[in-house]
Amino acid sequence: MKKGKLAIAAALSLSLVASACTLSTKDETAEQSASPSGAPVDTTPVDIELLAQNSNEADVNIIRDQLSKNGFNVKLNLQPDYGTFKAQQDAGNYDIAISSWTTVTGNPDYAVRSLFKTGGDYSIMSDPEIDTLIETASTQTAAQYAETYKQLEQKLVFDKAYIAPLYNSVKSQAFSQDVLNKDTVRLSKSRSLPWEVLDFKDTSKRAKDPIILQSTTPTLTSLDPIKGNDGSINIINTNQYVRLLNLTDDDKLTAEGSLSYNFAIAEGNSEYYFILRDDINFAAIKDKLAVDTGERVGGDDVIFSLLRAKDKNSVPNHRTYTLHEHISKVELVTDAAALEAVKISGSSDTVKSGLEKGLPAKIAALVSDKKESSNKDGKYQVVKLTTTKAFPQVLNYLAHQSAGIVSKKQVEAINTYDVAKFDPNKDIAYGDQNTVTEGAKYNNTLYTSGPYILSSKTDYEANFYKNPAYMKGTANEPKVNNIKVRFIKDMDSTLSALRSGEIHLFYSVPETKYDVVKGDTKLALQTLPSNAVSYLLFNTKNREVAKSADLRKAVLYSINQDEFLAYYKNNKIKAVSTVSPLVKTGLEVKADSAKVKDFLAKYKASK
Q: How far is it, in rounded angstroms, from Cα 198 to Cα 206?
A: 10
pLDDT value, residue 124 = 86
How would residue 401 be classed by pLDDT, with cut points 50, 70 and 90? Answer: very high
Residue 558 · residue 536 · CB < 8 Å: no
Residue 447 · residue 293 · CB < 8 Å: yes
pLDDT value, residue 24 = 39
How would residue 6 be classed by pLDDT, with cut points 50, 70 and 90? Answer: very low
pLDDT value, residue 1 = 45
pLDDT value, residue 83 = 84
pLDDT value, residue 158 = 98
Least confident range of 298-302, 304-308, 368-372, 566-570: 566-570
Give the model confidence (pLDDT) of 439-486 as tens digits. 999 999 999 999 999 999 999 999 999 999 999 999 999 999 999 999
pLDDT value, residue 39 = 52
For residue 2, is pLDDT > 50? no
Percent of the chain past pLDDT 70, that is, above it, reads 93
Residue 568 three-state SS: coil
pLDDT value, residue 40 = 64
DSSP letter at 350? Answer: B
How would residue 489 be classed by pLDDT, with cut points 50, 70 and 90? Answer: confident
More confident residue, 163 or 11: 163
Residue 380 · residue 334 · CB < 8 Å: no
How would residue 541 be classed by pLDDT, with cut points 50, 70 and 90? Answer: confident
Residue 116 · residue 162 · CB < 8 Å: yes
For residue 22, is pLDDT > 70? no
Q: How far is it, in rounded angstroms, from Cα 73 to Cα 66?
A: 11
For residue 26, is pLDDT > 50? no
Q: Is the dihedral of CA 529, 484, 6, 316 positive or negative?
A: positive
For residue 591, is pLDDT > 80? yes
Give the model confidence (pLDDT) of 192-231 as tens digits. 999 999 999 999 999 999 999 999 989 999 999 999 888 8
- Residue in 217, 407, 203 with CA at minimum distance from that of residue 294: 407
- Residue in 416, 414, 462, 410 with CA at minimum distance from that of residue 436: 462
For residue 583, is pLDDT > 70? yes
**DSSP calls for 338-405:** HHHT-BBTTSSSBHHHHHHTT-SS---EE-SSGGG-BGGGTEE-EEEEEESS--TTHHHHHTSGGGPP
Neighbours of 232 (CB within 10 A): 24
Q: Spell 580-590 as b/e; 16+ CB within 10 A means b.
A: bbbbebeeebe
For residue 5, is pLDDT > 60? no
How would residue 593 be classed by pLDDT, with cut points 50, 70 and 90? Answer: very high
